[in-house]
Every structure is written in structure tokens, then in C-alpha cells.
Amino acid sequence: MSSTPTTINRGLATRQEFGANEQKTQAELAAAAVSSREEAVIKAEYVMAERHPRVWMNVRTQMKEHCTRLRFAEVARYAKPVGRKNIGGRWVDEYARGWSARFAETSRKKWAMSNPSPRSRMRTS
């Protein structure tokens, strides 16, 4: 008995081999393809992580270099007025201080770039 190639008709793939029929819907085929792709991506990420381990000191050094740039240093921290406090008979403004969203974005970018991900894809349109 010979096997016939797979035929796809109305979203149903039929394969006949050696007297057996196998039918799969197009959704099952698509799910299997997505599953295979995601498995390959995870394996590639694991290999990249082994080959290029993240080093906190490198990220820290790069962030310190960013902070030496005046424009970045200006936006890397924030001070938000939160009220006033009476100190020795004088009212003094109180501020909440911390790292800004720009600092967090840059540090995340530096951390992510220290271990490349194969998930980035090119647009074809």
C-alpha cells in the first residue's frame, strides 16, 4: 500500500498512510506550529543565557556612565512636593524623591541588552 500526500479541504487536513486515515483540523495544525515555535524560542533563550550570562556590574557601570551625561542626570531622579513641615518656626517644603521612569526604562533596556532575546521579530509589512 502506498501513502498519499496530505490534502487540506475546508480546514480539515486528511492524511492516508498504509491503510490508516488521520484527520486534523487547521486549528490543531496551527496550535502545533505555535507550540513548536515557542519551544524553539525558549530553547534559544536558554542557550543565549548560558553563552552570555548577565553581569550586574556591567549594567551598573553602564548606568553610571549614563548618569554622567547632564541631560540624563536631569531626568533620572524626581522630586515631588508632598507638603510643608514646620522646623524651628519656619515652614519648609517637603519632597518625595526617587528614581524616575526614564531611569527605570534605561536600566531595563541595559539589563535586557546584556542577554539578547530571540523574541524580537522583523516586520514584513
Report the distance separating Cα 98 and Cα 85, nearest Å.
19
pLDDT band at 1 (very low <50, low <70, confident <90, very high): very low
pLDDT tens digits along 59-78: 899 999 999 999 998 899 99
Map grid coordinates 539589563 to a residue: 111
Q: How far is CA 109 from CA 14, 61, 118, in A?
A: 47, 14, 15
pLDDT tens digits along 12-41: 667 777 777 776 666 667 777 888 888 988
